[in-house]
Structure 1
Amino acid sequence: MSAIASRITADADAVDHAVVARRARTRGWWYVAEHRIRSMRSYVASWFGLSIGEPFLFVMGLGLGLALLVDANQGAQGVDGVPYLVFIAPALMMASAMQTSANENTWGVFGGFKWFPMFFAMNGTPISAAQIVLGYQLATLVRVALPLVTFTAMILLLGLGDAAGALLLLPIGLLLAASMGFAVMAWVATQTRDRGQLSFIERFVVLPLTLFSGTYFPLETLPWFLHWIGWISPLWHAAELGRAALYGAPLTPLMALVHVGFLILLAVVACALSIRIFRKRLDR
């Protein structure tokens, strides 16, 4: 009788393991995202502080400082036909999304391989490399969503541009965060040692793109030989979409398609590349 009971228990355990494995194969991306989101609790205070404080300081600081100076010199014409704060608000929002996504995909991805090799542990389960990549990026979008919501609330509170257009900034910002996140992830996943090169992302990618993507002034005001930086910058494409949505900046349907297509193409290509690199590194 005890042998039969043992057999029944063993069969039940086998069924449970099979169910768990099947769920991991279909929901692995969600398990990875949930794990990453839960791990953010260790710095939730700074997360909320930066996500709420940074948009407030940027908008109010520039609005009460640089914007007053620019508007005083530009007169009623403003920049791009609107007050300077309205002009830079969507670009600042997109720059914040890009920076947050880049940071999450720099130290977090490297740490997942090197400092706390959670990716290798996940790979030891039925969770695939593709699910790890997608789940991690989903968690990054959750991290990016809070500052985007704060920026949107500030824009609505100050009455900058069209209210309905302000809400469109949210999906634009998330699309930018995904394209930038996958691109940074693909490069960081190839790094096996930290020799200081990880800080290059902030210093030589994020900062230059912020300065040369028409964030603080129209791209056309730069010398013609620097325009190409904006053309290949995901921030410029997102900022142009944001300005068109917020205050109706001139944008032809063809250029709107180019902007959206560039961001989607970058996200898809970088995602596929990230999956390939993850799979190769995890299966060694």
Structure 2
Amino acid sequence: MSESMPTRTLADAGGVDHGAVARRSRTWGWWFVAEHRIRAMRSYVFSWVGLGIGEPFLYIVGLGFGLGMLVDANQGEQGVDGVPYIVFVAPALALAAAMQTAAQENTYGVFGGFKWFPMFFSMGGTPISAAHIVLGFQLSVLVRVLLPLTAFAVVMIVLQLGTVGGALVLIGIGLLLATAFGFAVMSWVSTQTDDRGQLSFIERFVVVPLTLFSGTYFPLETLPLLLQWIGWISPLWHAVELGRTALYGAAIEPMMLLVHVGYLVAIAVVCCLLSIRTFAKRLDK
């Protein structure tokens, strides 16, 4: 027993190079987090796909054709914004659905990741950083949002609501909106340590009012000036203006185009940094 036993590495014992895994985690941690979330979605994939595909048909047929017939009858050939009401409202419905989905995923998904099923703390115990968790989680949300956006685009193409290229561009606008609004919701929810009913406030007092007062169902200019400011600060309104320009060529000044895009990007960047800061603080405790 005088001779020392040969040292065996973990790689020799288990066939796993833990150092290499750690290095990959530091580089690709964001993808590992996204993959984990995407795989978890398989547990409710049927309801996810069913709602994602069925919702566009119900909304566009119900509001576009149903309410649209009444609006067009009153407006005459001029329609709304120079197009039939169904064309006017279709991009707004798609973008509102993207915002609502992003809000739902970032409300209970983020809170649950800290409180109910604390996977974030487990991830934080690995070489995966807080930034990777934030970015990976948001990437998985975009995958969730992509299905209804694509379904809306297909319905618009089939019904010939605008141009094919515009419907495809609308998908990109919806993903930008979901990123901005998702990070905004995440930056607040990640600061909450106990659920006292405040999580439902996002749906009731943020998502619903923004949907109603962001020029979704009618032009923002028809609202009293006292209420128009809600649309001006709403990410949804900025996205809807871009969406209508993309789908059917709604008039927009070049400067306002930059304002709409810049506003959404600024919200996404600022709220992403705030989320990373909050995640890092909570995971270090």
State TM-score, norm by structure 1. Answer: 0.97
2:186 paired with 1:185: yes
Distance (whole Å) between structure 1 residues aligned to residue 97 and residue 213 of structure 2 = 15
1:127 counterpart SS class: coil
Q: Give the conservation status (yes or no) of the 8 Å contact 2:235–2:264.
A: yes
Question: Which residue identity lines up with residue 107 of structure 2 in the other structure?
Answer: T
- Aligned pairs for 1:25-40 (under 5 A) are 25-40=26-41
Q: Which residue of 1 aligns with 2:66?
A: 65
Question: 2:50 is matched with which residue?
Answer: 49
Asked if the contact 2:90–2:156 (Cα under 8 Å) also holds between the matched residues in 1, the reply is yes
Q: SS at 1:7's partner residue?
A: coil
Over 3 Å counting, the alpha-carbon distance change for 1:11 and 1:5 in structure 2 is farther
**Structure 2 letter corresponding to 1:187:** W
* Residue type at the aligned position of 1:42: S
User: Residues 6 and 116 from structure 1, CA distance in 2 versus in 1: closer, same or farther, beyond 3 angstroms?
Assistant: farther
Rounded to whole Å, the distance in 2 between the matches of 1:282 and 1:194 is 19
Q: Which residue of 1 aligns with 2:236?
A: 235
Within 5 Å, give how 1:190-205 maps onto structure 2. 190-205=191-206
What amino acid is aligned across from residue 212 of structure 2 in structure 1? L
Aligned AA (1:84): Y
Residues in 1 aligned to 2:139 and 2:4: alpha-carbon distance in whole angstroms = 46
Tell me the C-alpha RMSD between the 2 structures: 1.6
Q: Kindly state the Cα deviation for residue 85 of structure 1 after the two structures are TM-superposed.
A: 0.4
SS across alignment from 1:65: helix
More displaced stretch, 97-106 vs 36-45:
36-45
Instruction: Please give the alpha-carbon distance, in whole angstroms, between the structure 1 residues aligned to 2:43 and 2:186.
Output: 22
1:24 aligns to what?
Answer: 25
Separation of aligned partners in 2, 1:13 and 1:200: 52
**Partner SS for 1:71:** helix
Query: In structure 2, how many angstroms separate the alpha carbons of the residues matched to 1:109 and 1:5?
Result: 48
Deviation of residue 64 (structure 1)?
Answer: 2.3
**How far is 1:63 from its partner?**
2.2
The answer on 1:7 being equivalent to 2:7 is: yes
Q: Give, in angstroms, the shift of residue 227 of structure 1.
A: 1.2
Structure 1 residues 7 and 65: alpha-carbon distance in aligned structure 2, compared to 1, 3 A threshold: same
Q: In the alignment, residue 66 of structure 1 is paired with which amino acid?
A: L
TM-score computed with the length of structure 2 as normaliser? 0.96
2:95 maps to 94
Q: 1:33-182 counterparts in 2 under 5 A?
A: 33-182=34-183
Q: 1:60 to 1:7 in 2, by over 3 A?
A: same
Amino acid at match of 1:63: G
**Structure 2 letter corresponding to 1:59:** I
Establish whether residue 208 from structure 1 lines up as the match of residue 178 from structure 2: no
The runs of 5 or more residues in structure 2 that have no matched partner are none
Give the structure 1 partner of residue 245 of structure 2: 244
How many aligned residue pairs are there?
Answer: 283
Alignment gaps of 5+ in structure 1:
none
CA distance in 2, matches of 1:4, 1:46: 60
- 2: CA distance, partners of 1:217 / 1:16: 59
For the residue of structure 1 that corresponds to 2:82, the secondary structure is coil
Q: Which runs of 4+ in 1 moved over 6 A?
A: none
Change over 3 Å in CA distance of 1:27–1:5 after alignment to 2: farther
Instruction: Give the counterpart letter for 2:7 in structure 1.
Output: R
Q: Provide the rounded CA distance (Å) in 1 between the counterparts of 2:87 and 2:65.
A: 13
Which whole-Å CA distance do the structure 2 matches of 1:283 and 1:131 have between them?
15
Q: 8 Å contact 2:130–2:276 — kept in the other structure?
A: yes
